[in-house]
């Protein structure tokens, strides 16, 4: 086996976003593209000589080939050990746990999360640091600088490593440990939740449907839900990971997980429904006849987490992204714990978690998690819901009703306009940004604007500042609008508009969210002029 040096040159556009570098698969499979980016990671972190790494991905197209390249490049860089999931598979939260539990120096996760997979779809590479979380901005900036300065990469010429069975391998003096992707993660879940109580729930006739969406959580859900917890066989569907996610879009929301939603709204609905995404870090929760928004789910979990053994001592604090509804804020106020508002991107929760300031955190984009790892965790959220249901013995609708009566309801919706011309989208927000100082006090479509600003975040742990994190418009009646360009797409620009309105616990708690938010949406259109500027009559996705 020979270590070779390959001359190369910078490739434009290799700037990591909020969750690593995501591009079209055909971009990643171009000569030198993957190699340049991986070498840039090594260069940015001071090399991998003598270091231990974790490697795995969600099984999407090109996952297997990319894993072999990264192993050969790690060996060429002098890495001491790489822990890799069997078959190259690891859910993102499982990878985070392995980095933390094995004391690794970092990890490489191959995924584009909830984006579609396949040769004509999306691929991604993300670097996680030693705390198990996504690289902070300071590290991703170093990686980006390295991509613009790279002149060579190093790789070992060797045959593919057998990743099909657990066990130890060697590659040019580097140890490769192939591990069962589920085992360590399942052991962690058993320390957090009352498996006996959940097992009793299923043995008492409780039914559920978990849609793994042909993605990475299929093996995890089968092993834990049907194996360890005695959920009836067949409770987990679409459980075999597929390179193109069965031709579907592995995003657990009412649009892309429509079959599950239709089942849960029908006469033959099971008691509980859930779904997870491509790499296992997002979740969707559905009760019989009721969809639980991610923002409501975070609030309900925060209010009831003490029912699970791992959180019986109470929560240190909670955190949410700015664009997530303020439902969890009201829970934190009642519990007399801190609630932090951060920019979008799980990496912003990392400092708060590491400093012991928060226990639970979440984002409106179906991500919820706790201090057990440094990533959002879809299956963890499902298990916490099951633990709560096992204790309360109430249907999901009743739990929501009781929660809204106690805390009020934050009607909330996100409207996504996808694949916009980036210039058009940028100009639209620039025009709105220029008007911010003059908006407070104006009446628009019958609603008074009380505040208007662009969110900036000062990290209370390290003092770092993140600016330009979304435009916020506060309206009378405890309502608001948020405008933000997303960093998770791979084609054009995605504009997200978030609508929110609070209803007290004594008010109308069971209105259709679309109707309840229609006046807020009218203000958003008047302020942005999105129809005139983009030609779009309606959003591509509403969640």
* Cα dihedral sign, 116-94-237-58: positive
CB contact at 8 A, 127 and 106: yes
Mean of pLDDT values over 531-536: 90
Within its chain, how far is the Cα of 2 from the centroid?
A: 39
CA angle 268, 270, 271 (to 5 degrees): 135
Q: Which residues are catalytic?
A: 113
CB contact at 8 A, 167 and 178: yes
Can you give the pLDDT at residue 492?
81
CA distance 482 to 484: 7
Torsion angle, alpha carbons of 495, 126, 160, 116, to 10: -20
In b/e form, how buried is each residue of 270-287, taking b as 16+ CB within 10 angstroms?
A: bbbbbbbbbbbbbbbbbb
pLDDT tens, 191-250?
A: 999 999 999 999 999 999 999 999 999 999 999 999 999 999 999 999 999 999 999 999
Q: Which residue is associated with the tokens 């190093």?
A: 154
pLDDT tens, 387-396?
A: 999 999 999 9
Using the predicted structure, report yes or no on whether residue 347 has a pLDDT greater than 90.
no
- pLDDT-based confidence at 37, cuts 50/70/90? very high
pLDDT tens, 405-436?
A: 999 999 999 999 998 999 999 999 999 999 99
DSSP string of 205-225?
Answer: T--EEEE-TTSTHHHHHIIII
Mean of pLDDT values over 275-286: 97
Mean of pLDDT values over 472-492: 86
Phi first, then psi: what are they for 470, rounded to 5°?
130, 145
Query: Shortest CA distance to 384 belongs to which of 313, 449, 444, 307?
Result: 307
CB contact at 8 A, 342 and 319: yes
Distant-in-sequence, close-in-space partners of 239: CB < 8 Å, separation ≥ 6? 212, 218, 219, 221, 222
Can you give the pLDDT at residue 137?
87
Can you give the pLDDT at residue 272?
98
Task: Count CA atoms closer than 13 A to 378's CA, side-chain side.
Answer: 33
Mean of pLDDT values over 11-24: 92
CA distance 323 to 50: 41
Average pLDDT, the chain: 96
Q: Which domains does the chain have, with CATH numbers?
A: 2-180 (3.40.120.10), 185-407 (3.40.120.10), 409-542 (3.30.310.50)
Tell me the CA distances in angstroms from 477 to 361, 450, 536, one per residue in order.
26, 10, 29
CA distance 502 to 406: 13
What percent of the chain has pLDDT above 90?
Answer: 93
Using the predicted structure, report yes or no on whether residue 489 has a pLDDT greater than 70.
no
pTM of the model: 0.94
Bridge partner list, 33 = none
Query: Shortest CA distance to 414 belongs to which of 322, 367, 481, 467?
Result: 481
């Amino acid at each position: 086996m020979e270590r070779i040096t390959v001359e190369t040159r910078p490739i434009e556009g290799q700037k990591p976003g909020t969750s690593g570098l995501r591009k079209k698969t055909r971009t990643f499979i171009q000569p030198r593209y993957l190699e340049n980016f991986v070498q840039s990671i090594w260069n940015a972190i001071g090399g991998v000589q003598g270091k231990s790494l974790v490697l795995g991905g969600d099984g999407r197209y090109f996952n297997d080939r990319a894993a072999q390249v990264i192993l050969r490049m790690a060996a060429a860089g002098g890495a001491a050990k790489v822990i890799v999931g069997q078959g190259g598979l690891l859910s993102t939260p499982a990878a985070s746990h392995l980095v933390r539990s094995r004391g690794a120096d970092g990890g490489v996760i191959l995924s584009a999360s909830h984006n579609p997979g396949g040769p004509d779809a999306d691929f991604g590479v993300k670097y996680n640091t030693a705390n198990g979380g996504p690289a902070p901005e300071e590290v991703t900036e170093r990686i980006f600088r390295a991509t613009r300065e790279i002149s060579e990469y190093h790789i070992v010429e060797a045959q593919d490593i057998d990743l099909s069975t657990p066990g130890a391998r060697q590659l040019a003096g580097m140890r490769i440990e192939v591990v069962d992707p589920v085992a360590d993660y399942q052991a962690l879940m058993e320390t957090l939740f009352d498996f006996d109580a959940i097992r009793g729930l299923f043995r008492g006739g409780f039914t559920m449907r978990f849609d793994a969406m042909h993605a990475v959580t299929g093996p995890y859900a089968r092993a834990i839900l049907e194996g360890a917890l005695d959920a009836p066989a067949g409770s987990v569907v679409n459980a075999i990971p597929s390179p193109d996610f069965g031709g579907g879009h592995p995003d657990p929301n009412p649009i892309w997980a429509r079959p599950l939603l239709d089942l849960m709204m029908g006469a033959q609905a099971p008691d509980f429904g859930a779904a997870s995404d491509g790499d296992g870090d997002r979740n969707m929760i559905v009760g019989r006849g009721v969809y639980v928004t991610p923002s409501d789910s975070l609030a309900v979990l925060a209010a009831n987490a003490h029912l699970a053994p791992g959180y019986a001592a109470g929560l240190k604090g909670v955190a949410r992204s700015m664009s997530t509804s303020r439902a969890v804020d009201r829970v934190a106020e009642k519990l007399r714990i801190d609630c932090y508002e951060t920019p979008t991107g799980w990496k912003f929760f990392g400092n708060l978690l590491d400093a012991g300031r928060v226990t639970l955190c979440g984002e409106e984009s179906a991500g919820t998690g706790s201090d057990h790892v440094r990533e959002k965790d879809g299956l963890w959220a499902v298990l916490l819901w099951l633990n709560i249901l096992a204790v309360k013995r109430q249907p999901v609708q009743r739990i929501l009703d009781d929660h809204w009566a106690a805390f009020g309801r934050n009607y909330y919706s996100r409207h996504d306009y996808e694949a916009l011309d980036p210039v058009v989208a940028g100009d639209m927000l620039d025009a709105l940004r220029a008007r911010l100082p003059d908006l407070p006090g104006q009446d628009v479509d019958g609603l008074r604007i009380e505040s208007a600003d662009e969110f900036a975040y000062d990290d209370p742990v390290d003092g770092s500042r993140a600016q330009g994190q979304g435009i916020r418009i506060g309206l009378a009646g405890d309502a608001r609008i948020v405008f933000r360009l997303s960093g998770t797409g791979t084609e054009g620009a995605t504009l997200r508009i978030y609508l929110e309105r609070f209803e007290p616990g004594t008010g109308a708690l069971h209105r259709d969210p679309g109707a309840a938010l229609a006046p807020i949406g009218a203000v958003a259109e008047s302020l942005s002029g999105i129809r005139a500027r983009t030609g779009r009559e309606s959003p591509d996705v509403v969640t």
